[in-house]
Structure 1
Amino acid sequence: MPSALIPWISFGASILLVIAYEWRIHHIGKRQPERLARYANAKLRMHWVTSLADRPGAEIVAVQALRNSLMAASISASTAALAVMGALSMSGASLAANLARWSGENALHTVLQGMLVGILFASYVCSAMSTRHYSHASFIMSIPVDRPERNELNTAAATHVRRAGLMYSWGLRLFLMVLPVVAGVVHPLAMLPATLLLIGGLVLFDQPANDVEVD
């Protein structure tokens, strides 16, 4: 086997492992959503909206809780945006130069640099979308419960809170996926063990709170 193919094999195996894991998680979530944190937490957030929908005086508590979540998503978005700018500052010039003179010896490095920027930007977009949904939910949950329009919008509030949580989860998830890409930029053969480490972290990330053992 040519030595030049080994880094590409490591890259391909890493990508396939991540895709296989996400495919498995997707199908488990469709059949048994209670086994995955993202789906269990989404259901919990929707129950939270429902429980406050007919409680006069709970509007301030609801908005404060949503504000805390919105701040967490804002911090995540800001971190991802700073990471994108840092990645472009450090590798933007070399990425542009490598794209201009594409060749076999630097092709993988160029692909990994592009993936790094793309994943970080996707993480920023997901976190920013999370703040958008939390903001919409805050407006709805601040409407007094005795107003007729509040009853009409409770379903929309639950949907916004659910989507906000899922977007926030994906923002963090994509940020974690930077690990094997960074390892691959440093050395292509380091990408596969970093991917295995990532999947181990995602297994814990996807575990619902009621399945976590407390010592």
Structure 2
Amino acid sequence: MTDLVPWLSFNLSVLLLVAYEWRVHHVGQRQPERLARYANAKLRMHWVVSLSGKPGHEIVAVQALRNSLMAASISASTAALAVMGALSMTGPSLAANLSRWSGENTLHTLLQAMLVGLLFASYVCSALSTRHYSHASFIVSIPVDRPERAELNSAAANHVRRAGLMYSWGLRLFLMVLPAVAGVVHPLAMLPATVLLVFGLRLFDQPANDVEVD
């Protein structure tokens, strides 16, 4: 196997992922209802607005946000554990390869670094999600009839929107570890793994459809 083939597999995989995310962003800016992350962000903002005019629903709102916060916390904890596990397994070889950077080990070292970087980025996004959910919880726990609540409703809606997007990105980055792991095992496995990932992300991005019940 020549050095060109593994690098070609790597470049095609990265290009495929970038092209997919660019298309998702492009479509989402113009037709947000077609993509789950944008449609759900809008739904969460509508949820905050609808509860802001209903006295007595503060506990319900806080409980709903607590459930979302716990989900984001679990994702952050899982990513953190995965980072520690990846560093335990690849840390020594990664440090050794970085100290003697060469053409033979460059791709393998890069994939190892990407693996750790993706897991850490997933942790950061999930942690930011918990931060936004926490801020939103403080706001929605304020009684609806208080004047300061009306002033903070827009901030609560924005926090919930950002929390959902960060949580989504945390999950997506965690899933993007798949091609990196496949590439570490064998460079040629990265492209099929990326195709499988894009197919999964496409399903992940489809919004829920209304189901009519007779």
| TM score, norm. by length of structure 2 | 0.97
Alignment partner of 1:137 is 2:120: no
| Partner residue, 1:172 | 171
| Partner residue, 1:210 | 209
CA distance in structure 2 between the aligned counterparts of 1:213 and 1:108, rounded to whole angstroms: 51
Using the aligned pairs only, state the percent identity. 84
Q: Secondary structure at the match of 1:28?
A: helix
CA distance in structure 1 between the aligned counterparts of 2:100 and 2:26, rounded to whole angstroms: 42
CA distance in structure 1 between the aligned counterparts of 2:171 and 2:149, rounded to whole angstroms: 32
Partner deviation per Cα, 1:96-155 (whole Å, 9 max, x = no partner): 000000111111000000000000000000000000000000000000000000000000
Q: Secondary structure at the match of 1:104?
A: coil
Q: Residue 76 and residue 107 in structure 1: after superposition, are their counterparts in 2 closer, same or farther (change >3 A)? A: same
Partner deviation per Cα, 1:144-171 (whole Å, 9 max, x = no partner): 0000000000000000000000000000
| Partner residue, 1:91 | 90
The residue type equivalent to 2:140 in the other structure is: M
| Partner residue, 2:49 | 50
Q: CA deviation at 1:213?
A: 11
Q: CA deviation at 1:210?
A: 1.3
CA distance in structure 1 between the aligned counterparts of 2:96 and 2:186, rounded to whole angstroms: 20
CA distance in structure 2 between the aligned counterparts of 1:197 and 1:27, rounded to whole angstroms: 22
How many pairs are equivalent?
A: 213
The residue type equivalent to 2:182 in the other structure is: A
| Partner residue, 1:76 | 75
The residue type equivalent to 1:23 in the other structure is: W
| Partner residue, 1:9 | 8
CA distance in structure 2 between the aligned counterparts of 1:70 and 1:177, rounded to whole angstroms: 23
| TM score, norm. by length of structure 1 | 0.97
Within 5 A, what are the aligned runs for 1:103-182?
A: 103-182=102-181
Q: Secondary structure at the match of 1:123?
A: helix
Partner deviation per Cα, 1:57-105 (whole Å, 9 max, x = no partner): 1000000000000000000000000000000000001100000001111
Q: CA deviation at 1:32?
A: 0.3
CA distance in structure 1 between the aligned counterparts of 2:49 and 2:180, rounded to whole angstroms: 41
RMSD: 1.4
CA distance in structure 2 between the aligned counterparts of 1:28 and 1:41, rounded to whole angstroms: 15
CA distance in structure 1 between the aligned counterparts of 2:160 and 2:113, rounded to whole angstroms: 32
Runs of 4+ with >6 A deviation: 211-214
Bigger drift between 118-127 and 205-214 goes to 205-214
Q: Residue 18 and residue 108 in structure 1: after superposition, are their counterparts in 2 closer, same or farther (change >3 A)? A: same
The residue type equivalent to 1:83 in the other structure is: A
The residue type equivalent to 1:108 in the other structure is: L
CA distance in structure 1 between the aligned counterparts of 2:113 and 2:33, rounded to whole angstroms: 36
Q: Secondary structure at the match of 1:56?
A: coil
Structure 1: any 5+ residue segments left out of the alignment?
A: none
CA distance in structure 1 between the aligned counterparts of 2:102 and 2:135, rounded to whole angstroms: 48
Q: CA deviation at 1:207?
A: 0.1
